[in-house]
Amino acid sequence: MQLRNSTSRYGWVSIFMHWGVALAVFGLFALGLWMVDLGYYDPWRKAGPDLHKSIGLILLGVMVLRVLWRLVSPPPPTLTSYSRMTRLGAKFGHVFLYLCLFAVMIAGYLISTAEGAGIPLFDWFEVPAVISGLPDQADNAGAIHLYLAWALVIFSGLHALAALKHHFIDRDVTLKRMLGRKA
C-alpha cells in the first residue's frame, strides 16, 4: 500500500489517522460517560479522568498532524458519480467533523485548566494552563464539551452510515478508498 494519497485511494498514513481518530473518539466518549459516574472512593476516580485527558491531548496532536497531512497529501477527489448535493454534503460533513472535534478538545482543555493547573500527559510532561480563571470556565466549557461530544459521536455515526450506504446501496468505491483498496 502507498504512503501518500493518490487520485484513486487514500494512502496508509491517512487511513491510519482516520481509523485511529475514530477509535479514539468513540473510546474517549465511552470513557467520559463511564468516569462521570465514579464514586468518590472508586480507585479509578483520578485515573479515569487522567487517562481521558492524556488520550485527548494525544488526539489533539494527531488532529493537527492530520490537517497538515491533508495539505501535504490531499485526499482523492470526490467521485464524479456524486450529485452536486452529495458533494456539498460530503464537504460540509467533513468540515463539521473536524471543527467539532477541535472544539470538543479545546473545551476539554478549558475544563482541565480552569483552576490554573496544567494537564499531565501520562506523567511524561505537563501541558501548561494558558487560559484559566475565566468566569464559570469549568462549568461553561463542561457543558460545551458534553453537548459537542454527543454531536460528534452522533454525526460520526451518520458518517459511517453514509459510507455503508455508498458501499452497499450505491455500490461505489467510497468505502474501498478509505480501506486502501483501488477504485
Q: Where are the domains of the chain?
A: 12-178
User: Which grid coordinates belong to 60?
Assistant: 489533539
pLDDT band at 183 (very low <50, low <70, confident <90, very high): low
Please state, in angstroms and rounded to a whole number, the distance separating the CA atoms of residues 132 and 135.
Answer: 9
User: Which grid coordinates belong to 6?
Assistant: 493518490
Mean pLDDT of 56-70: 97
What is the model's pTM? 0.91
Domain 12-178 falls under CATH 1.20.1740: no
Contact 48, 35 (CB under 8 A): yes
